[in-house]
Structure 1
Amino acid sequence: MDIVVFESLYGNTAAVAAAIADGLGEGARALTTSEATPEIVAAARIVVAGAPVHAMSLPTTASRESARSKPQGADRMPADLGHMPMREWLAALPRGPRLGAAFDTRVRGPLGHGASKAIAHTLEADGFTLLDGPRGFTVHMHTSASEPATLLARGQLDLAREWGTHLRERAGSLV
């Protein structure tokens, strides 16, 4: 089984995770950090993990609370804080030889990097073999829409699906 684990506040990272899982192929699943239990992770062949970039790294308790006070769009859609932060999930990650990859959702510019590198570093430290370098998918800073995943830049889901396919092919070449 292959899994794509994500932290997503406004649905953008969740949509990218689902597209990556589509690219990984049949049986791959996109799971929130709360759904991806240590037992599921231990049974996975490939673990791809992703989160949004907050202040050039993974979301923190403070940045998640800040998101709570910033509903999105005209209808003021609240941030989804119902799942475990990626930082906590990574801290509880079962060690072991598995294949992995890391991604983030980010705005363009110098402040839009860092979460995927932090995730990749933790995966490697926990014994994972990375299938590719950390990958970023672009989101816009603001939207007037109040539906999940409306901040994604055009074409990002196609790029995520293609990257999932690339990861599956890399994993196949390592077997």
Structure 2
Amino acid sequence: MRAQVVYESMFGNTAAVAEAIAAGLRPHFEVTVAHVAEVVNHPAPQVDLLVVGGPTHAFGLSRTTTRQDAAGRTDDAVEIEIGIREWLDAALPVPSPRSAAAFGTKIARPPWLPGSAAKGIAKRLRHLGYHLAVAPADFHVEDMTGPLRSGELERATEWASQLATTALALPGAPR
């Protein structure tokens, strides 16, 4: 059983969550983790479970303009041209039902702040023909650039463990 975690990250928070998710999946799957820029030429991953995540920017998935803004807030290299939005919009529909899950990172406060990259990712995955094994999940950062809220990496690993169990129990799941 193979799983792939594809993520977009500006400040390292979403990347850390992606690695925590991979750790939760590894007891059940052979897992690869890749930044979206690494898979841009692979629009239809050949895996049993696809997990996709990104940061919430301006109440949803990042755009070129929001990535440019993020690049101005860090000394790290930030991929501006390609993000999860563009990758999924260019992706090929899956030929048969496959399992997927969506996650995102977003600012924890104020708690009523709307928007979620995870929900936008989930919508795009369903449109491509994926079956969402679990509801989209948001993991919280304290501020725009982080850090992750205490306990979020552990919560991500637990979420992934539950995701693996659910995905393996779905009808038609490879054995």
Q: Into which bin does the TM-score normalised by the smaller protein fall?
A: 0.7 to 0.9
Give the secondary-structure state (helix, strand or coil) at the position aligned to 1:42.
coil
Per-residue deviation at 1:42?
3.1
TM-score norm. by structure 2 comes to 0.86
* Amino-acid identity (%): 36
Give deviations 1:1-54, integer Å, cap 9, x for gaps.
101110000110001001101111152121111223564843111001010001
Pairing 1:78–2:79 present? no
Once residues 79 and 43 of structure 1 are traced to their aligned partners in structure 2, the CA distance between those partners, rounded to angstroms, is 29
Alpha-carbon separation, structure 2, partners of 1:50 and 1:103: 5
Match of 1:57 in 2: 60
Name the aligned partner's letter for residue 153 of structure 2: L
SS in structure 1 opposite 2:143? coil
* Change in CA separation of 1:36 and 1:142 when aligned onto 2, cut-off 3 Å: closer
**Inter-partner Cα distance in structure 2 for 1:81 and 1:39:** 17
Q: Distance in 2 between matches of 1:83 and 1:165?
A: 32
Letter paired with 1:94: L
* 47-56 or 84-93, which deviates more: 84-93
Match of 2:98 in 1: 98
**Which of 148, 153, 170 is the matching residue for 2:149?**
153
The one-character-per-residue Cα deviations of 1:139-172 (angstroms, maximum 9, x if unpaired) are 01167xxxxxx51111111111111111110111
What is the rounded CA distance, in whole Å, between the counterparts of 1:44 and 1:173 in structure 2? 16
Letter of the 1:101 counterpart? A
Maintained 8 Å contact 1:55/1:111: no
Deviates more, 1:78-87 or 1:8-17: 78-87
SS in 1 for 2:70: helix
What is the aligned counterpart of 2:69 among 66, 70, 73? 66
Indicate the SS of the match to 2:65.
helix
How far is 1:83 from its partner? 7.3
State the distance in 1 between where 2:69 and 2:35 align: 20
**1:91 Cα deviation (Å)?**
1.0
Aligned residues: 164
Matches within 5 A, 1:1-175: 1-25=2-26, 26-37=29-40, 39=42, 41-71=44-74, 77-78=75-76, 80-81=78-79, 84-96=82-94, 97-108=97-108, 109-111=111-113, 113-141=115-143, 151-174=147-170, 175=173
Q: Does the CA-based 8 Å contact 1:33-1:83 persist in structure 2?
A: no
- The equivalent of 1:146 in structure 2 is none
Alpha-carbon distance between aligned partners in 1 of 2:71 and 2:80, rounded to the nearest angstrom: 11
* Residue 18 to residue 154, structure 1, CA distance change in 2 (3 Å): same
What is the rounded CA distance, in whole Å, between the counterparts of 1:15 and 1:133 in structure 2? 20
| 3-state SS of 1:101 partner | strand
Q: Which runs of 5+ in 1 are unaligned?
A: 72-76, 144-149
SS of structure 2 residue aligned to 1:165: helix
Q: C-alpha distance in 1, partners of 2:123/2:132?
A: 10
